């Protein structure tokens, strides 16, 4: 028997615990690979699972939306041609895309492009809702994109802030 943290562990449990720990560590090393151009809708769905949303594109193809929100920081567009072959797989939850979101976009257009937000809040200085999306900027800093949707259901402005961390100390 082995003594660990004040407990005695039988040899049979030690071997099983070691096997489980090794399996977990190997899973952490597994490589996640994104779909590649030309893959079929079936292949993409087998790899990524069912999309959160499917949108028809003007060219007759489809856009599948995959989101890691609310706790993640990525939203992917899988764009397929009319034959069901992947044309592009793009991460769109970033400063470049958020900052170019057109003022006047409808609530539906925002949902179709980014999916549901991390949170929806209200602020006293704006009449409407503020949809917040978490993302990583180009310097690998955690950021928040705040899309202000007015009472008519249109995007009025986009603002950015740093995402507070547990290490932040903010005395007001």
The highest-level CATH class for domain 33-92 is: alpha beta
Tallying the residues shown for the chain, one arrives at 172
Give the pLDDT of residue 166.
76
Residue 12 pLDDT level (bands cut at 50, 70, 90): low
Q: pLDDT by residue (tens digit) across 69-113?
A: 999 999 999 999 999 999 999 999 999 999 999 999 999 999 999
Domains of the chain, residue spans: 33-92, 94-172
Do 33-92 and 94-172 share a fold?
Answer: yes
Do residues 54 and 64 touch, judged by C-beta distance below 8 A? yes
Tell me if the domain spanning 94-172 has CATH number 3.40.50.2300.
no
pLDDT at 27: 43
At 29 the pLDDT is 46
Mean pLDDT over 36-51 rounds to 97
Q: Strand 128-136 vs strand 75-80: parallel, antiparallel, or unpaired?
A: unpaired
Predicted TM-score (pTM) of the model is: 0.76
| Mean pLDDT of the chain, nearest integer | 87
């Amino acid at each position: 028997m082995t003594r660990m943290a004040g407990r005695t562990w039988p040899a049979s449990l030690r071997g099983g615990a070691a096997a489980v720990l090794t399996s977990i560590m190997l899973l952490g090393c597994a490589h996640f690979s994104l779909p590649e151009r030309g893959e079929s809708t079936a292949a993409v769905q087998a790899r990524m699972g069912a999309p959160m949303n499917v949108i028809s594109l003007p060219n007759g193809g489809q856009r599948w939306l995959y989101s890691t929100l609310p706790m993640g920081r990525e939203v992917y567009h899988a764009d397929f041609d009319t034959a069901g072959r992947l044309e592009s797989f793009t991460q769109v939850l970033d400063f470049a895309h958020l900052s170019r979101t057109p003022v006047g976009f409808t609530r539906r257009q925002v949902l179709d492009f980014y999916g549901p937000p991390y949170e929806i809040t209200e602020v006293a200085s704006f009449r409407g809702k503020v949809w917040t999306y978490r993302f990583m900027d180009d310097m690998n800093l955690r950021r928040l994109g705040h899309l202000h949707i007015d009472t008519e259901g249109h995007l009025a402005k986009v603002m950015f802030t740093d995402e507070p961390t547990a290490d932040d100390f903010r005395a007001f």
